[in-house]
Structure 1
Amino acid sequence: MPFTLATWNINSVRLRESLVRDLLTQTGVDVLCLQECKSPVEKIPSFADLGYGHAVARGQKGYNGVAILSKLPLEEVGAHDHVALGHARHVAARLENGVTIHNYYVPAGGDVPDRAQNEKFGQKLDYLTAMRDDFRANRPERAILVGDLNIAPREDDVWSHKQLLKVVSHTPVEVAHLAETQEAGSWIDVTRADIPEGQLYSWWSYRSPDWDAADKGRRLDHVWATPDIANAAHSSRILRHVRGWEKPSDHAPVLATFDL
């Protein structure tokens, strides 16, 4: 049975509950994975009245936080606290068809791409290394990985490859770490498998006075799948217009449909 999945860094689920409701109503996605919920689990709004009666989450007050909302029955299968940061950055759930969904919020890494000068950048690299090691030790099967991975890996995933080479989220060391993580699980980038060519962004900075016209975006949000189910994925898209909603997140939702 086909199901459509979306991933979205919501930048406070309580502040933007109405936007989540609008997205769910307008798209009817079966599963929505949220990052940066910025809420304890018990205070994350319920969307059961819209048909999303199943949910798993990890939360923190005012910081981080991940949640999976679903129309389809699912069971929680754990969460990692990579590098023992004490952050709510991962939760996983399994659908009745045996597909496991991993929802990740990788550390942003601060502003300076140097672990000697910036502890947060070191934490980001170490987090990715821990993800890599986990996938090597526990080879994923029938799995989907989504989330704000905070790295735009390809040259056409950013508005200017040359100008962003020394900017956190597109530096060569981050791209290399993400590539190792992806390779460790044999993950396939579903979005780029569907849309192989051209500029593609899912994030536009709040700092830009006219984000749409300037279009200085980056593709930080990803949908990956293991090889045994990747061929079932199709209809990938990024809902750019959502970035233009009133009081929006700086991220746009990324969607894909799986015939499983």
Structure 2
Amino acid sequence: MITEDNDPRKGKRPDPRLGSGEAPDLGGFTMEDGTVTFDWTQTRVRLARLADAGPVELGRRRRFFVARDDLAGVKLEFVPPLVQAIPSTCQSLDEYLNWLPEGLGRHLIVLIQAGASALGLWEEDRLVAHKAIKKYVVRGHGKAQPTYLRSKGKSRYGSRLRLRNARSLLVETSEKIHEWRNESGPFSRVFYSCPVRIWSGFLDGKPAPPLSKEDLVKIPLDVARPCFDELLRVRRRSLVGRVRTLGDEER
């Protein structure tokens, strides 16, 4: 099966670290399951075409739109690219189109797991800063030290070191975000992937990261151990939306 990651045309795509000044030709690629993928630059035009063909409504949890093509007699699910995720304040297609920016702005991607974090700052389509941090926090049995202590409560030198490293990882990640914000200004949106418990500790840490709840967008993807290459992979995926025809049982 052809996917975004093994698409043979992948080599034609511009490196997300570079600003080519041209819109990449990604639109209209049909996958084997009938899903059509498109680039973020085509979102507004594609939604306008769907609206001309029939009514368009918000789907569950505002993650996608459901469109009905009255002429073709089909119902479609339209998922915008992650970089253009539907804000919680939008109640209709018109409100979304009024909100939809022409560009990508200054946005941040943050990936955090036990023992590793990776973050990147983009200005429009140009990567201006990135950082990957790794710490020793996982025990020999594969369980992160903070998680292990919640169930066992044992404390030895090795466990204290792993706990210290776990805290240090979050502090260094937060400090780097502070540094970038001070240098570049506020972020238009922040896309993040992190286990719930670690994310809670990250937001409550000292210093607390300079992130506004309204600007946070959770990344709905399976993310591998954070590193620079994984950061770029997530970024590539975030630029692509999809449209698929709903089956009879989904209508």
**TM-score of the two chains, using structure 2 as the length reference:** 0.27
Structure number with the bigger relative contact order (C-alpha 8 A, sep ≥ 6) is 2
- In proportion to residue count, which structure has more helix? 2
**TM-score of the two chains, using structure 1 as the length reference:** 0.26
